[in-house]
A and B are shown apart, each in its own frame.
Chain A
Amino acid sequence: MSSLTSEDAANARRQLRRRRTQAFLFVVPLLVFILFAFVAPITTMLFRSVYNPTVAELVPETLTMLEDWSGEELPGDATITRFAIDMKRMANDRTSGRLADEINRALPGMSSVVKSTARGLRRADDAELAANGAEMLLAENDRWAKPATWRAIRSAGQAYTSSYYLTAVDLEYDAEGEIIMRDTQIYKQLYTKTLKMALIITGLTMLLGYPLAFYMSQASPATANFLMVFVLLPFWTSLLVRTTAWIALLQAGGVVNSTLIWAGLINEPIELLYNEFSTILAMTHILLPFMVLPLYAVMRGIDASFMRAAISMGSNPIGAWYKIYLPMSLPGLSAGALLVFIISVGYYITPALVGGTDGQMISNIIAFHMQVSNNWELAAALGSLLLILILVLYWLFDRFVGTDNLKLG
């Protein structure tokens, strides 16, 4: 046994280092891409779900003065005057709308009160405002005389807050700061529904994909390729085209209904579209390739002689499949299931187009808060919860199935 000289060892180390640097350089573009397209946006989203400084930046002094206020009666005149002066300033920089939007979230109906008050105070005289601000503000609208309004300002003024997460699970703070149920119960229902639908879709793709992938892996290359085209063709077709094709098929005067009526099986069109059924159907179709491809890749690597050996040793075909083939195809099955499940949990466009009311999923509500209500903080909290949910499910999957049991090819 010969040992290396120190020079050889140094050489070897240098070579190893060079290879490592080279390998790293190959990965750098991807790392940079992931940083900008994945890590940064997700961090921003997580941050946005707890941090909203809008009100704190707009009326900082008022908020400081409100800190010592009991919350029971009206705040002191000095505080109200300070707020009136802030209102005039915001009316002139046209930022009152942003304050209005935030306070309205805590107390619906306040948006117009804030905006009209700001308009009313825009031309007010500075000296008069400093002297009689409180009176002038209270004269603009009687909502200013209600302690609830000031509590809403105070709670909207917290730059860091967990209230968006509370809302995302249908809870809220009451006047005393206790956590209570919200009047509107919607998000928990939607999460449950989303998970339920994702599970159904995953189950259906398994049911359809497993036999198909099995057959393809056993068939001659020509047949397998031919069938593969049928799997891939829809995969390459635009998502929108596939979804609208389902609309054409399922609608009241669509292909399915007209055929059934023509055949005399039904008298009037049955409702196939704009419900949970159509959402599940269309999503199963769209996500099927994500199940078939990993399954097929794994099954092709399974030697058919194992099954033959099991059967020749006296097992019945089902027992042989269960004991021999299923465990060997499990890596493909779990990879496919995980892919389909995770993709369907966050699916948006198909439920939006064919979902109607029943087919709504959590992503549609996130889009509502992004596009319609402009409550980006709540959208971020809902999105973060979804992300956490998926991470937890992945962790459970790892515990029970094991990620080493994942194989895409």
Chain B
Amino acid sequence: MKKHLTYLATTALLASPVLAQDLTVTSFGGAYGAAQMEHMIEPYMKESGTNVLFEDYGGGVAEMKAQVEAGNILWDVVDIEVIDLERACAEGYLEVIDQSVLPEGDDGTAAADDFIEDALANECGVGNIVWSVVFAVNTENGEGPKTIEDFFDTEAFPGKRGLRKRPQVNMEWALLADGVAPEEVYEVLATEEGQAQAFAKLDTIKDEITWYDSWSQAPVLLNDGGATMVQSANGRIFAAIKDDGAPFEIVWDSHIYDLDVWAIMKGTEKKEEAMEFIKFATGTVPLSGMQDVAYGPTRASAQALLPEEVKQDLPTAHLDEGVKADGIFWADYGESLGEKFNEWLLQ
């Protein structure tokens, strides 16, 4: 961040007359934001001479809704989870992106073939990374759970389970642990009985759950003994293992993976510049840099640049063990299940 500020300050002083206008880009911060700063934002500023203001936000659609409703657009480009993208796009908070202008990969593959299937599925976004919700165990506690059934087995694996306080992922895991086939999870969850089944399964571990609110709390819980196994974004656990040498192990069984995409705020005056940025940021080399925080690039040509030993740490190497998060399902049932989930918590 500091480097970024100094860079901004010096470029502003030296080159302000020739600089194009500022571009405001928002993302999730943390180690992920730092990696984006290093591989996407800084190279782009150098190459284009555009000043990029890089801000953090916490996800969700609320701030976009507020900006568009008030007609006061503060952001230009946003990094958004697909689960929110579906909604933000359909409600008119995002510009439609012309995906035909995306540059080909460094190996010459056309963009349409180079991006993985889901990366260009929504007309408002261009795929950025594949990330995943996994569970992780602290290996200091001996043999830990290996499957999602183990995670729900409090007899064989006693101890607290750290889960993020929201229905997403938890409902899916409950059904998977209860024997529902991965491809049927969302179909079952759309029915009253399926929801009851998921809550009943969650009931069996309810007393053993420690709830947390933000991803950053997951490695902390695992580290200080607040939980013996936690749900987490895979990058957070990866960073704890790699940077702090934490004795954690990621379990890929039944992980729920999803994409993050770049999108453009509806009504921004800098649509052209925003598009230029996205074209750059979703290029082969910048995308391959996301391996630093263990998130998989959405381009095949970027995958090819990764060293073999890194690939195993990325969600993209474990897609067959996981379930793709269903953004459409959560747009349909997010609110009603959110209320039911809160009611269940209060019981």
Contacts and interface: CB of A to CB of B under 8 A. Distances in A.
A375 B225 CA distance: 37
A323 B226 CA distance: 50
A184 interface: yes
Contacts of B227: 252
Contact of A373 (B225, B338, B340): B338
B225 A110 contact: no
Nearest to B61: A374
Contact of B331 (A111, A185, A372): A111
B335 A373 contact: yes
Interface residues of A, number: 42
Interface residues of B, number: 40
B92 interface: yes
B91 interface: yes
Given A189-B346, A360-B346, A95 B60 contact: no
Nearest to B336: A108
Nearest to B330: A111
Contacts of A93: 92
Nearest to A186: B343
A186 B90 contact: no
A274 B163 CA distance: 12
B332 A356 contact: no
A105 interface: yes
A186 B338 CA distance: 11
Given A252-B225, A372-B334, A373-B335, A96 B90 contact: yes
A229 to B, nearest CB: 32
A111 B332 contact: yes
Interface in A347-366: 352-353, 356-357, 360, 365
- Residue of B91, B338, B339, B345 ringed by the most chain A CB atoms within 10 A: B339
A400 B332 CA distance: 49
B213 interface: yes
Interface in B212-251: 212-213, 223-227
A190 interface: yes
A269 interface: yes
B90 A368 contact: no
A109 B332 contact: yes
Interface in A231-245: none
B346 A112 contact: no
Contacts of A185: 343
- Residue of B92, B212, B335, B343 ringed by the most chain A CB atoms within 10 A: B335
A96 to B, nearest CB: 6
Contacts of A205: none
A153 B212 CA distance: 37
Contact of A98 (B62, B91, B338): B91
Given A251-B226, A357-B165, A371-B62, A104 B346 contact: no
Contacts of B87: 97, 101, 374
Interface in B49-68: 58, 60-62, 65
Contacts of B328: 111-112
A360 B345 contact: yes
A197 interface: no
Contacts of B345: 357, 360
Interface in A188-222: 189-190, 193
B332 A253 contact: no
Nearest to B339: A184
Contact of B334 (A94, A184, A353, A373): A373
A375 B335 contact: yes
Contacts of A190: 346
Closest 10 CB pairs of A and B: A97-B90, A253-B224, A97-B91, A108-B336, A373-B335, A252-B226, A186-B343, A253-B225, A252-B225, A357-B345
Interface of B: 58, 60-62, 65, 87, 89-92, 96, 160, 165-166, 190, 210-213, 223-227, 328-329, 331-340, 342-343, 345-346
9 contacts: A100-B331, A110-B332, A111-B328, A184-B336, A252-B226, A254-B224, A274-B212, A373-B334, A375-B335
